[in-house]
């Protein structure tokens, strides 16, 4: 069975304080973003901002560790060194299950 996981890094520290600067999620996510045909910034599916339980968070797909290990290590180190609340969420990928 295939399991697909993502890391969710929240904008608060483990002790509940709001992390500053408040735009850090967009700054980190933009490191892997590119400009689309509409000349607007398009975030990577592997590293992007997203609302999770009503809060803006940074989502890291575990595929990033395989496709860009340096970026994965940088972001995880950033979260750990700033004591940011991080969780891992996994889901069963049905499309990869045998019939």
Which domains can be identified in the chain, with CATH numbers? 3-94 (3.30.70.2340)
Q: Indicate the range of 18-27, 65-74, 89-98 predicted with least confidence.
A: 89-98
Model pTM score: 0.86
So what's the pLDDT on residue 96?
47
Q: What would the pLDDT profile of 43-83 be if each residue is shown by its tens digit?
A: 999 999 999 889 999 999 999 999 999 999 999 999 999 99
DSSP 30-88: GGG-EE-TTSSEE-BTTEEEEEETTEEEEEEETHHHHH-HHHHHHHHHHHHHTTEEEEE
Write the CB contacts of 63 (distance below 8 Å, at least 6 apart in sequence). Answer: 46
């Amino acid at each position: 069975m295939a399991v697909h996981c993502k890391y969710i890094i929240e904008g608060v520290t483990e002790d509940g304080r709001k992390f500053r600067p408040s735009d850090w999620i967009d700054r980190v996510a933009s490191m892997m973003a590119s400009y689309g045909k509409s000349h607007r910034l398009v975030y990577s599916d592997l590293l992007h901002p997203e609302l999770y339980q009503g809060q803006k968070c940074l989502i890291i797909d575990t595929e990033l560790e395989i496709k860009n290990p340096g970026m994965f290590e940088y972001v995880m180190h950033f979260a750990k060194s700033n004591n940011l609340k991080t969780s891992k969420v996994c889901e069963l990928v049905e499309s990869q299950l045998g019939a």
